[in-house]
Amino acid sequence: MTGLLVGYARVSTDKQDSTSQRDALTAAGVAPGLLYVDEGLTGSTRARPALREAMAACRAGDTLMVTRLDRLARSVPDARDLVDELTRKGVRLRIGESVHDPEDPTGWLLFNALAMVAEFEADLIRARTREGMRVAKAKGKLRGKKPKLTAAVEGHLVAEYHGGDYSINELARRYDVGVATVYRAVERAAQKTPAAAVTLALPRADI
């Protein structure tokens, strides 16, 4: 195999370890200076600095190596775009022990099959995540963001608003929250107490 062997590895989160990918690429003959790693980046985004560096490091006759296709891309269109770019540069793609040859119809067919499998696996993971969140929510284990104000504090805020001593902006500064939070608190109070809706419908001009 002529040319240089350029390696690329990726892990989706900072908590994942790229050591196994690094070791496999190094064992295959990738030199330390030609090993590029993206950490904490999903394959669904093309904004991967190390990938761009790896692609830029490849010259005609070189080979870009990844341990698995889903480390390079997580969708069929993305994988095809990357391979097309490599092909235009005269660079081959090696996935594990298999070298993709764009001039070989069988190799191109196998590559597309791998890309579809990688995309299918990514879709399954997303589906399982959504299902897990639905189940957790149904069991009361998944809750929204913690309210910025407790019920008691929110009650004081609304009372001061209706007391007329403070404007919306002043209340926001006084309670260290955003103006939108103050408005939402007043709206919630208005829904609980119809009489308060009159005050809410005709807000005072902020000072």
pLDDT, tens digit, 9 for 90 and up, residues 82-99: 888 888 888 888 988 888
Can you tell me the distance from the alpha carbon of 41 to that of 9, in angstroms, rounded to the nearest whole number?
11
* pLDDT for 6: 97
Helix, strand, coil share of the chain (percent; to 5)? 55, 10, 35
Regarding predicted confidence, which is higher, 57 or 15? 57
Can you tell me the distance from the alpha carbon of 105 to that of 111, in angstroms, rounded to the nearest whole number?
10
Its pTM surpasses 0.85: no
Mean of the per-residue pLDDT values for the chain?
Answer: 77
> Which among 23-37, 160-174, 191-205 has the top mean pLDDT?
23-37
Q: For residue 155, what are its two tokens? A: 């009650």
Instruction: Decide: 36 and 57 in contact? Cβ < 8 Å.
Output: yes
By annotation, the residues acting in catalysis are 12
pLDDT reading at 75 higher than 80: no
Residues of 138-169 as b/e, b for ≥16 C-beta within 10 angstroms? eeeeeeeeeeebeeeebeebbeebeeeebbbe
The DSSP bridge partners found for residue 36 are 8
What is the rounded average pLDDT of the residues 20-32? 94
What is the rounded average pLDDT of the residues 142-146? 59
CA angle 93, 98, 99 (to 5 degrees): 35
